[in-house]
Structure 1
C-alpha cells in the first residue's frame, strides 16, 4: 500500500484500538521498522497529528484531551477522487443558499467539510483557492424549493408542484411523491412518483414555479426500481420506461485520444478499430441528450447502424449548416 493508505490505516488503528504497539502497527501495515518510524515522524512533525508513545501500555495512541484527537487528520494527503468529492460538496453547498434560507442547516456541514480540507482554517481556505472546479451552464435553484423538496424527501411526504415544461412551454399542476434528488451536469433534478401520470418522472428543480408540502404520505419506490426505470439509458433522459436501443459511434483517430478515456455510460462497450478509430456503443431510450453530445464532436464522429438516429443527426447538421451558408 502507498503512504496515503498507510496514514489512513494508522489513524483507523489508533482510533479503533486506542493504544497500539509498534510491532502490531508494523504487522498490520506490512512495512519495515524504518518505514513505520518515518511515517509516525511525518504524521507528528509535518501534519501535527497528536500521536504520542504511551510507556505504560507500550504503544502509540492519540494524545488524551487534545482537541485534534477528536478531529480527522488533515486532508493534505487526500487522493484525487477524495479532493474532488470534498470540493464538489463544498461548492454545491456554498452555491445552493442564495438567499440565506438554508444557512442555519448547512453551516455545520460546511464547517465539517472545511475542517476535513486542512489542519486549520487558513490552510483550508488556501487549499480551496489552489484547487478549482469549473462548472458551466449551471441552472440555479431557488433555496426555498430545494429546502422544501429535501424536507419532503426525508419526511416521506407528498408535494404539490406547479411545473414549467420547456419542450412545449406548458405549465402543469402535479402531486408527486419525492424519491431522490439528483445533481447532473451542475443542475438539480427531483426523481418522483407522479400521481397524475401514475409513473416515475424526473423534474428539473429550476423549472419548478411553485411547491407546497402536503400532509399525505409519499408513495415508496425501491431504489433498484428507480435505477431500472430512470438510469438505464443515456444521460438525464435515461429511462422513461421506453425500450433501450444501442447507438454505435465511431470516432476519428484524433478525437479517439480523448474519447477513449471518457465514460459516457456505465454499461458502455468500446473497442479500437484497425484503422485507429475508436468505436463506442451506448444504450439510450430518448436521443435528445445523446444527439447533443454527438453533435459537439462535429465531423470527428460517425453514427452507424441506427437509421433513425443517423437521420436525426444528419437533419440537425443540415439545419446548422444553413445558418452559416
Structure 2
C-alpha cells in the first residue's frame, strides 16, 4: 500500500461515512479517484480492492440498490458506511480498571498478540480518556508465546484455515505429518497446547507445541468451522498432568550444580556404572522433551542413560544441531538496515491503522505534547508528523475547508477541531479482543488483583464492548502466572517498597556456582510463571536480573538501598542488559526458530529464502553460546565470530560422541 493509496483510502472512508443515502461509483470516480488513471475495468478492480481493505480495517461497506435493480448494475448501486457501523462503544474506566487494563495489554511478550494488545489499548484510550495510573510494584507479569509456531497458529485459527506440521507422537515416539483444524491454544503445566480436529486421526486431539519438529504450514485455500461453544481453558482443565518419571543421567564430576541439587538421594538402580570422571544421578521429570532440551544444552557434561525415549530425544536434538552446523553457510548480508534496527519493518498498512486510531485518540486527548503522542503510538516524532500531514490533506472530496480534517500542532501541542466522524475507533478485531480478554483472565492468578473487584468489572465492560469478537476469546488461554514461592516474592516486594538492601545467595547455572551478593531490588516481573527481579548488584556493580526459583537464601541485610539507578526503561523488562563491551554475534535461524531473534533483542535481521533469518545479537557472556546451539536442536547456529562457531560445533560433536557419534 503506497502513501497515495493510504490517502485515497482515507478519503474514500470519509466520503462513505459522511453520506446518508450512499454514493454511486461514478460519483466516487469523479471525486476520490479523479487523479487515478485507467479505464472503467481497472477502476472497478481498484474500487473492489479498496472496499475489501476498508472491511479488513473494521468498516462495513453497505450496498444500497434502487428498488427493483440488481447490485450488479453500477448505475443504480450506491455505497455508504453507517456512522455507528462497527464502532467501539464508549468504555468508561476507573483508575483501578485502567491499571488492570494496562497490565493485561502488556502481558504479551512480543509478536502478533503483543501488537494486537497495543492496538486494543489505543482504541480504549481513544474512547475514554486515559487516567494517569502507576503499575503496582511486583505485579508485571508477561506471557511468552511459543515461538513462530504460536503466531502462525493464532493467525490460522482466527482465519479458520487448517494447518499441517511434523509432530513427534508421544505414544509411538515417531515423527508424523499431521493436518489439523486448530480450535484453540492454551498453556498448561508449563507447556503450550494446540487443540483441534486431527484430519489424519479423524478425531479431536491435543498437541504439545514443544513436540512440533517443523514449521507450521497454513493451508490458506481451505476453510473449516470450529465448534460454536469451544473453550480451550475448559478443554485443558480436563487434561491430566503427565506422570512423574525418573531418568538416569551421567554428569561430569564437579559440574552442573543445579542438576545435582535436583537429583534424588541414594543409589539409583542396576543400570551399570558411569564412565570415569562421571557421576550417575537420578532425576525426576514429567515431560521428556523438556528434559531432553535441558540435557542437550549441557553437551558432553551430561549424558542421558535411561529411559530409552529420553536418550533418543537428546540424540535427535544433538544430531539436528550437528547437521545444521555443517550445512552450507549463506551469504551474510543485512541490506538497507540501519543499526540498531527493528526486527519488524513498519508498513503502509500499519500507518493507516495507526491514523484511524490517531484521530479519535486526539479527539479524546486534546492538547497533548506531540512527543507524548508519538510515544503513546510507538513511533518517532518524524513518523507522527508524516501521519498528521496526510490527515490534514484528507476529507470530503471537492469539499470546503470545513470538510477537511483540521489538526494543529504548531506549538508542539496537538489539537483537532474537525474530525469528520472519525472520532470513535472501530471495534476490536478478534486478535485484539483475544489479547486483552485472555490477558485479563490470566491476571486472575494474582491474588492482589483478583480480590479488588476491578478485574471482574473491567472484564465485563470489555466483553460488552467486544461483542461477537469477545466470544471468540475462548480460543486462547494463558499460563498460570502466580509465583510458586510467594514468600520470596513478598520479601523482594517489601524491599522495593521500603528501598531496602537484600543479602542474596544465588545459583547461577551459566557459571555453575553459588554466590553471595548484596543487591538493591528495583523491579519484579515474570515470564509466564517464572518470576524475576531486577536489581543493582554491588558485586557486579551493575543491573542484573535474578530468577526467584534460583534464590537459595534471601533476607534484608539491614542497609538501605544505596543506588540511584532506576529500572531499565520500558516494559517488558529485558532479561539481558546491553553493555559497551558486548560481543556482536551473527546467527542463522531456521523458520521454526525465527522467534529467537526477538527473544534475544536482535539488532539487525535479514530474511532468508527458506523462511529463516540471519540475525545480529549482542551477548555479554559468550561462553554459554555452545549450550544455546545444542539446546535448540537445529533451529540456530553461530556464523560469526568464527571461533564461537567452531566452539559450538565442537561442543555438539563432543556431546554426540557420548551417544556413540
TM-score, normalization by structure 1? 0.58
SS of corresponding position for 1:263: helix
Match status 1:203 vs 2:546: yes
Gaps of 5+ in 1: 18-26, 44-75, 97-102
- Establish whether residue 319 from structure 1 lines up as the match of residue 649 from structure 2: no
- Equivalent of residue 491 in structure 2, options 145, 148, 155: 148
Contact 1:249 1:281 in 2 (8 A): yes
Q: Aligned partners of 1:287 and 1:142: how far apart in 2?
A: 31
The C-alpha deviation readout for 1:206-233, integer Å capped at 9, x for no partner, is 1222322355321234337x57xxx8xx
SS in 2 for 1:222: coil
Asked if the contact 1:161–1:210 (Cα under 8 Å) also holds between the matched residues in 2, the reply is yes
Residue 582 of structure 2 is aligned with which of 224, 230, 244? Answer: 244
CA positional deviation for 1:287 = 2.9
Shift of residue 257, structure 1, vs aligned partner? 7.3
Whole-angstrom distance in 1 between the partners of 2:609 and 2:527: 35
Q: What is the SS of the residue equivalent to 1:243? A: coil
Structure 1 residue 306: Cα displacement:
1.0
Range moving further from structure 2, 77-86 or 176-185: 77-86
Paired residue secondary structure (2:616): strand
Q: C-alpha separation between the residues in 2 aligned to 1:134 and 1:107?
A: 16
Contact 1:115–1:121 (Cα < 8 Å) also in 2: no
Instruction: Show the counterpart of 1:99.
Output: none
- 1:1-325 alignment, distance < 5 Å: 7=89, 8=123, 9-12=126-129, 29-31=419-421, 77=428, 80=431, 83-84=434-435, 87-88=438-439, 90-91=441-442, 93-95=443-445, 103=447, 105-108=448-451, 111-119=453-461, 129-133=474-478, 141-167=484-510, 170-184=513-527, 186-223=529-566, 226=568, 236-239=575-578, 243-251=581-589, 255-256=590-591, 259=594, 263-272=598-607, 278-287=613-622, 291-299=626-634, 301-325=636-660
Q: State the Cα RMSD in Å.
A: 4.7
Q: 1:170 to 1:82 in 2, by over 3 A?
A: farther
The structure where helix makes up a greater share of residues is 1
Q: Say how many residue pairs are matched.
A: 258
Q: How far, CA to CA, are the matches of 1:123 and 1:292 in structure 2?
A: 47
Deviation at 1:204, TM superposition (A): 1.5
In 1, Cα distance between the equivalents of 2:511 and 2:554? Answer: 21
3-state DSSP of counterpart to 1:236: coil
User: How far apart in 2 are the matches of 1:281 and 1:273?
Assistant: 14
Alignment CA distance shift 1:303-1:5 (3 Å):
farther
Gaps of 5+ in 2: 1-9, 11-56, 59-85, 90-122, 130-359, 367-416
Alpha-carbon distance, 1:242 to partner: 7.0
Q: Is the 8 A contact 2:592 2:635 kept in 1?
A: no
Q: Which has the larger radius of gyration?
A: 2
1:260, 1:278 within 8 Å by CA — same for their partners in 2? no
Secondary structure, in 3 states, of the residue corresponding to 1:151? helix
1:131 and 1:262 mapped to 2: Cα distance? 24
Kept in 1: contact 2:445–2:482 (CA 8 A): no
Aligned to 2:219: none
Shift of the 196–11 alpha-carbon distance from structure 1 to 2, 3 Å rule, reads closer
Q: Is the 8 A contact 1:238 1:284 kept in 2?
A: no
Instruction: Name the structure 2 match of 1:73.
Output: none
Answer 1 or 2: higher relative contact order, Cα 8 Å, separation at least 6: 2
* Counterpart-to-counterpart distance in 2, 1:298 and 1:215: 46
Q: Deviation digits for residues 249-283 of structure 1, max 9, x if unmatched?
A: 234xxx34762895244452122357876322211
Within 1, Cα distance between the matches of 2:621 and 2:528? 17
**In structure 1, what is the Cα distance between the partners aligned to 2:463 and 2:611?**
50
